[in-house]
Every structure is written in C-alpha cells, then in structure tokens.
C-alpha cells in the first residue's frame, strides 16, 4: 500500500463509509455508536471528510471510524475499506513505521486503579445519592474515581472479559452537563459490560440486558443478574457473536426493559433477532429507562 492508495481510502466519502458500517446517516448526523446515544450526537463534516461526537469526543476520518467501529487495527481497517469500496491495494510493506499507531489497550497501566477502588465525594454523590446504587454492586463492579489535572472529577469504570481480564476503561465525567461526557483510553474494548457475572449464572437463571452501565448497576442493585450493551445505536459484530454463544451454551432466559424511546425499542428488536425468546418488559409511563424506574421504586436512603 502506498501513499496514494492510503489517500484514496482517506478520501472515500465519510458518510458513505458510515452507512456501509450500518449507521443511519440523516442530515449529516447519526446516533453515535461509541456511547449510549439517543440524540444523533455524531456529526459528519463533508468538508473535512471526518466525524466528531460532541458527547464522547470520538473523532477522526474514514480509517479511524472503521478501526474504532469494527475494533480493527490500522491495516485491517484499510483492507476492510479497500474491500468494501473496490480500491485495489498493493501488498503492504511494513517498513514505513509512520503508519504504525498504538492501538492495543495497555491493561498494565490501568489495572492497579481497580485493586484499591476509591470513591471521591463526587462519585459517592453520583452513585449513592443520585442513583441509589447498592454498595455491594459498586464493589463488584470495582468502580473507582479520580481527578484530572484540571480538577475535573471522573468515575472510572473497568470492563473485564469473562475470565476477569481488564480489557477496557470508560471514564465518565462527574461534572453535570460537562463535555466530553465520556473518555476512553486508547484501544479500550468497552462493548458488553459486566461479563464476569456470566460465571455466576446457573441453568434456568434470568439474565437482564440493559442499555449502558448505569442501567446495569440499577438492575444489579434491584437484585437481578445483568449485562449491558454499550449503546442502543448498533450492536457490533463481536457482541452479536458473544450473545449467540451465550444463548446456545447456557440455558438462560433473557429479559429486557427497553428504554421508552425509539432507539430503545430498536435495540430490543435487534436483540430479539439474536435471542428469539427475549422477554419484553414495559417500563411504566414517566420512566424513560430502568434507572428511573429503579429510583421510583427504591426508598430514599
Ligand atoms: Zn459519542
């Protein structure tokens, strides 16, 4: 692959690439697949041929979008793009080191944060007072907190695989209304949340599928076993495979309280295709998601 070919890939129309990936682009916007989005926060710039999310800060060009969306390395993303758009690449010569970027997650750098979790007053307020999350759930999820150089308080959310290996970190801004709302270290794989719970399931158990971490904590606090899909926007290929494996290897019943909005119902329908017996639970009027429902049913502390 030479510079000219690379430029061809960078010049592929960004909105076309997004649609090829399965995003629904309307008026140069779509729901952002990198956070739990309900308001089409991802904007496309035809002039810069790039995308930017004003909520989670995800941004880049055609190649970045494919890398991030399909969890591919730089070269594989280039190959995918070339393949989808009939661009012919000469075989890649790995001597040009300027094409190499760090894309894998450096777990060693983050692991120790979660060994001794610490909750700042802002994090305690967010978890215990605003959301009434059970302290046992906070310990199980190893939630911790930190302050950046500017003094902004963040909640740090670890993602583990089924074997308990740290595979990603999601930082959530604890300052109300502040942007970006989320930050992810390079290479973080924040797809399905709370995978270690799978080792605690027994045949016949009910497993709830929620949208995003906060609903998952609420569901766990309500005494249910739960995992979370990161975003209602779109299920990634890997997530679909994992759910299919779960459905075929564990005898579980799957349950869901879809958010009371269009992305919520769309996620339910998408999941139902993978898990045909998925049980739909209706949230009562006035509760847009399970967190709100949980708050309305749990007594104040
Ligand atoms: Zn986003």
CA–centroid distance, 40 to ligand 1, in Å, is 9
CA–centroid distance, 198 to ligand 1, in Å, is 27
Pairing type for strands 166-173 and 182-183 reads: antiparallel
CA–centroid distance, 299 to ligand 1, in Å, is 33
Coil, helix or strand for 30?
Answer: strand
CA–centroid distance, 130 to ligand 1, in Å, is 23
Of the given ranges (92-101, 115-124, 209-218, 280-289), which has the lowest mean pLDDT?
92-101
Question: Is 193:141 a contact under the CB 8 Å cutoff?
Answer: no
Task: Check whether 292 has a pLDDT greater than 60.
Answer: yes
CA–centroid distance, 211 to ligand 1, in Å, is 14
Question: Is 207:195 a contact under the CB 8 Å cutoff?
Answer: no
CA–centroid distance, 235 to ligand 1, in Å, is 15
What one-character DSSP code corresponds to residue 282?
P
Residue 300 confidence (pLDDT): 58
CA–centroid distance, 122 to ligand 1, in Å, is 23
Residue 91 confidence (pLDDT): 53
CA–centroid distance, 252 to ligand 1, in Å, is 32
How many Cα atoms within 13 Å fall on the side-chain side of residue 213? Answer: 22
pTM of the model: 0.69
Instruction: Convert the pLDDT of each residue in 95-147 to its tens digit.
Output: 434 444 456 888 988 898 898 888 999 999 999 999 999 999 999 999 999 98
CA–centroid distance, 32 to ligand 1, in Å, is 5
Angstrom distances, CA of residue 77 to CA of 7, 92, 236, 237, 290: 14, 13, 15, 15, 36
CA–centroid distance, 222 to ligand 1, in Å, is 28
User: Please, which residues have CB within 8 angstroms of residue 255's CB and are 6 or more apart in sequence?
Assistant: 206, 207, 208, 209, 224, 278, 279, 281
- Helix, strand, coil proportions of the chain in percent (round to 5)? 35, 20, 45
CA–centroid distance, 62 to ligand 1, in Å, is 16
């Amino acid at each position: 692959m030479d510079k000219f070919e690379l430029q061809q890939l960078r010049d592929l129309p960004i909105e076309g690439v997004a649609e090829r990936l399965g995003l629904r682009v309307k008026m140069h916007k779509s729901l952002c697949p990198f956070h739990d989005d309900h308001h089409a926060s991802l904007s496309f710039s035809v002039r810069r041929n790039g995308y930017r999310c004003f909520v989670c800060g995800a941004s880049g060009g055609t190649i970045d979008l494919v890398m991030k969306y399909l969890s591919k390395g730089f070269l594989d993303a280039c190959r995918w793009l070339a393949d989808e758009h009939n661009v012919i690449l000469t075989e890649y010569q790995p001597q040009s080191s300027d094409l190499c970027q760090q894309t894998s997650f450096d777990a060693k750098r983050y692991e120790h944060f979660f060994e001794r979790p610490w909750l700042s007053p802002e994090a305690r307020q967010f978890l215990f007072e605003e959301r009434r999350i059970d302290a046992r759930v906070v310990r199980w999820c190893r939630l911790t907190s930190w302050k950046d150089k500017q003094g902004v308080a963040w909640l740090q959310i670890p993602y583990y695989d089924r074997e308990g290996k740290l595979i990603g970190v999601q930082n959530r801004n604890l300052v109300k209304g502040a942007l970006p709302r989320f930050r992810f270290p390079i290479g973080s794989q924040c797809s399905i949340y709370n995978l270690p719970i799978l080792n605690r399931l027994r045949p016949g158990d009910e497993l709830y599928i929620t949208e995003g971490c906060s609903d998952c904590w609420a569901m766990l606090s309500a005494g249910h076993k739960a995992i979370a899909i990161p975003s209602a926007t779109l299920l990634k290929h890997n997530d679909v495979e994992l759910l299919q494996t779960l459905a075929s290897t564990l005898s579980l019943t799957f349950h869901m309280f879809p958010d009371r909005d269009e992305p919520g119902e769309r996620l339910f329908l998408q999941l139902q295709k993978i898990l045909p017996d998925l049980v739909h639970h209706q949230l009562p009027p006035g509760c847009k998601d399970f967190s709100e429902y949980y708050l309305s049913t749990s007594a104040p502390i």
